[in-house]
Amino acid sequence: MIEQFVNFVIRPPRAEYNPDQYLWEPEFTLAGRKYKRIDLELSNERNQTLKCSHYVPAVIPENTALPCVIYCHGNSGCRADANEAAVILLPSNITLFALDFAGSGLSGGEYVSLGWHEKQDLKSVVSFLRKNKEVSCIGLWGRSMGAVTSLLYGAEDPSIAGMVLDSAFSNLYELMLELVDVYKIRVPKFTVKMAVHYMRRVIQRRAKFDIMDLNVVQVCLLKQYILLANN
């Protein structure tokens, strides 16, 4: 049961999909206007391949830069989850960038980390987009793990224009304590914290991050304090 719970955290069911079937077509029409899907690969700091798609107008006038929103999926998700966001963003002249985080979808990597390593994946994407002269400001749209990723990255990059955050958690350790109870893992109440600390060590060894470090509120408050102090 504990092994299953560890997998629930760092190796949930992985989205398997065919891009040609589950993503918008390479060329498509939406609300009477033509758009295209540009597929590309990026590498994160751990040299893992990130599978990505950038949805843009079929023709962008010369010397024109458009805002871009990066969609950050949940722990069992993939870039196909951004399809609905395209319906909202593209007709508003906002381009959409979607990726499979490392350990998710078709990207490299074995485990997810609920935002800890995904923050570095997002950094790679932002760095790439900053070099694109057809991109102006950048926003983030995250769900669940993606919302946490957006918060962790946004705390370090004040140039992010805005964020849409859906179902983020504030503290992974506290969340795991709650989930042990929700999923009725068969350990006595007094040993729940011992079980979670055991899982902490397993996760550290396998996925190379410490669940105790994923205190999103504390990280964001600390970053804001540093920014205020520097100003």
Q: How far is CA 114 from the centre of its chain?
A: 8
| pLDDT grade for 46, boundaries at 50, 70 and 90 | very high
Mean pLDDT of 189-203: 85
pTM of the model: 0.92
> Per-residue confidence at 67, pLDDT binned at 50, 70, 90?
very high
Query: Which residues are CB-neighbours of 69 under 8 A, at least 6 positions away?
Result: 85, 89, 94, 95, 96, 97, 138, 139, 140, 141, 164
Q: Would you say 167 and 141 are in contact if contact means Cβ atoms under 8 Å apart?
A: no
> What H or E segment, with its residue span, contains residue 69?
strand 66-72
Buried b or exposed e, range 110-130, using 16+ CB within 10 angstroms: ebbbbbbbbbbbbbbbbebbe
* CATH architecture of structural domain 2-230: 3-Layer(aba) Sandwich (3.40)
Share the mean pLDDT of the chain: 91
pLDDT of residue 220: 73
**Rounded distance between C-alpha atoms, residue 35 and residue 46, angstroms:** 33
Both tokens assigned to 85: 């966001």
Question: What does the pLDDT read at residue 183?
Answer: 62
Domain boundaries, the chain: 2-230
Tens-digit pLDDT profile for residues 151-160: 999 988 989 9
In this predicted model, what pLDDT tens digit does every residue of 124-182 receive, in sequence order? Answer: 999 999 999 999 999 999 999 999 999 999 988 989 999 999 999 999 988 888 777 66
- Per-residue pLDDT tens for 92-130? 999 999 999 999 999 999 999 999 999 999 999 999 999
